[in-house]
């Protein structure tokens, strides 16, 4: 995907979230087992169903939780590309966004 396309998609995702898309922020996958189950569910989704992906992974356009977790500190986040490198997500993101697949 080219940078322009990524930028457009990032803007689009931002708009979808700002417009009130209700996502599954909870429950947070407590251990690697729940995390693996969530990944398996994500793999079952149709590849082009972006909204379903955002809902299931619990996307938010702001930090979340008592520790204010956000993409910037997540290990899947690529700072320069502003990209989530988790293969099951693989979407452009903003550093202050969040999803429940957050890991550090």
Partner 1 sequence: MANLLWLQGGACSGNTMSFLNAEEPSACDLVTDFGINVLWHPSLGVELGDNLQKILRDCVSGAITLDIFVFEGTVVNAPDGTGEWNRFAGRPMKQWVRELSDAASFVVAIGDCATWGGIPATAPNPSDSEGLQFLKREYGGFLGQGFKAKSGLPVINVPGCPAHPDWITQIVVAVATGRAGDIGLDEFQRPKTFFQSFTQTGCTRNMHFAYKVSATEFGQRKGCLYYDLGCRGPMTHSPCNRILWNRQSSKTRAGMPCLGCTEPEFPFFDLAPGTVFKTQTVMGFPKDMPEGVDKKGYIAMTAAAKNAAPAWAEQDIFVV
In the complex, which residues of this chain contact partner 1 (CB under 8 A)? 28, 30-33, 35-37, 39-40, 69, 72-73, 75-81, 85-87, 102-104
CB of 16 to partner 1, least distance (A): 24
Specify which residues 92 forms β-bridges with. 83
> 50: how many CB neighbours lie within 10 A of its CB?
15
Nearer to partner 1, 13 or 89 (CB): 89
Q: Are 7 and 81 in contact (CB under 8 A)?
A: no
Calculated CA dihedral for residues 37, 91, 2, 19, nearest 10 degrees: 150
CB of 7 to partner 1, least distance (A): 16
Nearer to partner 1, 18 or 79 (CB): 79
CB of 25 to partner 1, least distance (A): 14
Nearer to partner 1, 20 or 66 (CB): 66
């Amino acid at each position: 995907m080219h940078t322009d396309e990524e930028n457009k998609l990032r803007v689009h995702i931002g708009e979808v979230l700002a417009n009130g898309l209700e996502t599954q922020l909870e429950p947070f996958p407590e251990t690697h087992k729940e995390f693996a189950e969530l990944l398996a569910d994500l793999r079952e989704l149709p590849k082009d169903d972006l909204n379903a992906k955002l809902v299931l992974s619990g996307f938010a356009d702001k930090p979340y939780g008592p520790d204010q977790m956000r993409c910037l500190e997540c290990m899947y986040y690529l700072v320069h590309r502003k990209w989530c490198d988790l293969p099951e997500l693989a979407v452009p993101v903003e550093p202050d966004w969040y999803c429940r697949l957050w890991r550090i």
